[in-house]
Amino acid sequence: MTIERLQDVEFGEELPVFAPDTGLANVKRFALAAGWDGPRFTDHEAARAEGLPGALVPGIMSQGFLAAMIHRWAPEAQIENVDTVFRAPVIVDQSYTISGVVTDIDEDAGKVEIDLTVSNEAGETRVFGTARVKLPS
Amino acid sequence: MTEPLDIDALRESFLGEVFDERSYAVDAKKCVEYALSCGELAPRYTDPNDPDFQAPPTFPTSFQGGKRLPDGFPKLPGLGMDAGKAVTAMKPIRPGVPLTGRKHLHDVYTKTGRSGRMVFMVIRLELFDPDDVPVATADTSIVIRERPSE
């Protein structure tokens, strides 16, 4: 179910979990579009040569996943702000899930706040963020 | 060993001063690829024929180039790591419309833990349309871990 209006949102509501595509081909596609196509993002061996555990999903791509997740939940949502903390690396070709929960609703302003977390298969937080979103009334 | 950064002096000398200005082009095809690879489904981000077609709201955090820190900024006592990004969208960014970006040091602060002091620097890129109307800000947080005094 998607959200159309602010009145459809409940405090504490959980957004549908989103499993982003962190496969190498998709990360390369993003990296080229963003102009962030350095080898640490597009080549596992090159990343390991830098001492990294593997190619990294760019932090800005994780941020993009958060925005996409919000739009999948509420297609007309206008994202006003996303503040993202990169706590630990997100590795290409590993599986992650993103969860989100509504933590505030300002009915007068027509806005909600959402906490978002990118977790690995062990349930460890890799990236977390907060978004402020405007919804139609 | 490098001297610890003097946070008060850095704030006094550098906070709020624009240290870089440059133009940014926003290409429609790149916006679409950016959006689709992130998993966007909303046509206003994925379809150039949509009447409300625009760059994804987080697109400004991808803008790079220019000076990383102000001229005269002291040598950092370690390699800076990207600790986070924040974007604030004020107006839709329309592909094809050139933007002007101005950077300043927005904040400097510290956190201290058992392994020593960490210094956070927030670099803010402010983006303006051709009428000099602000359209977005993109913040990059850089963290430096200082080694404890020996």
Question: B79-110: per-residue pLDDT in tens?
Answer: 778 899 999 999 999 999 999 999 999 999 99
Distance CA B85, CA B58 (A): 9
What is the distance between the alpha carbons of residues B52 and B63, in angstroms, rounded to a whole number? 22
Chain A and chain B share a number of CB contacts under 8 A equal to 98
The residues near B73 (Cβ < 8 Å, ≥ 6 apart) are: B10, B14
Percent of chain B surpassing pLDDT 90: 72
Model ipTM value? 0.95
- Measured between beta carbons, the chain A residues lying within 8 angstroms of B86 are 81-84
Residue B98 amino acid letter: P
Can you give the pLDDT at residue B81?
85
Q: How far is CA A89 from the centre of its chain?
A: 13
pLDDT at B94 (0 to 100): 97
Domain residues of chain B, as ranges?
7-145
Cβ neighbours of A78 in B, within 8 Å: 57, 89
Contacts of B83 in chain A (CB under 8 A): 85-86
Q: What confidence score (pLDDT) does residue B148 get?
A: 58
pLDDT of residue B89: 97
Contact B76, B4 (CB under 8 A): no
Sheet bearing B99-113, strands edge to edge: A96-106, A111-120, A125-134, A78-86, B81-89, B134-145, B116-128, B99-113, B18-24
Q: Is the dihedral of CA B2, B7, B12, B13 positive or negative?
A: positive
Subunit contact A81:B37, Cβ cutoff 8 A: no
The most distant pair of C-alpha atoms in chain B lies apart, rounded to whole Å, by: 62
Choose the closest CB to B34 out of A33, A78, A81.
A33
What DSSP state is assigned to residue B93? -
Contact (Cβ atoms closer than 8 angstroms) between residue A130 and residue A115: yes
- Which residue, among A32, A60, A83, would best test binding to B if mutated, counting the most B CBs under 10 Å from its CB? A60
At B2, is the pLDDT very low, low, confident or very high (cuts 50, 70, 90)?
A: low
Per-residue pLDDT of chain A (137 residues; tens, 9 = 90+): 799 999 999 999 999 999 999 999 999 999 999 999 999 999 999 999 999 999 999 999 999 999 999 999 999 999 999 999 999 999 999 999 999 999 999 999 999 999 999 999 999 999 999 999 999 99
* Cα–Cα distance measured from residue B124 to residue B134, given in angstroms and rounded to the nearest whole number: 13
Please state whether beta strands B18-24 and B99-113 pair in parallel, antiparallel, or not at all (unpaired): antiparallel
- Nearest by CB: B39 against A21, A36, A85: A21
Q: Which residues of A touch B82 (CB under 8 A)?
A: 59, 86
Q: Bridge partners of A44?
A: none
Per-residue pLDDT, B1: 54
Mean of pLDDT over chain B = 91
In angstroms, the separation between the Cα of residue B10 and the nearest Cα of chain A is 23
Selected from 3.30.200.20, 3.40.630.10, 3.10.129.10, 3.40.50.2300, the CATH number assigned to the domain covering B7-145 reads 3.10.129.10
Cβ contacts (< 8 Å) between B64 and chain A: which residues? 35-36
**pLDDT of B11-49, one tens digit each?**
999 999 999 999 999 999 999 999 999 999 999 999 999
Rounded to 10 deg, the angle between the A24-34 and A59-73 helix axes is: 100
Does the beta-carbon distance from A60 to B61 stay under 8 Å? yes
The predicted structure's pLDDT at residue B115: 77
pLDDT at residue B145, as a whole number: 84
Query: Taking Cα atoms as reference points, which of A133, A107, A90, A10 lies closest to residue B58?
Result: A133
Token pair 């201290």 in the structure block, residue: B112
Which phi and psi angles does B50 have, rounded to 5°?
-65, 135
pLDDT surpassing 60 at residue B150: no
pLDDT computed for residue B80 by the predictor: 79
Fold of A6-22+57-134: Thiol Ester Dehydrase; Chain A (3.10.129)
Between B28-38 and A24-34, two packed helices, what is the crossing angle to 10 degrees? 150
Of the candidates B61, B20, B113, B78, the one whose C-alpha atom is nearest the C-alpha of residue A36 is B61
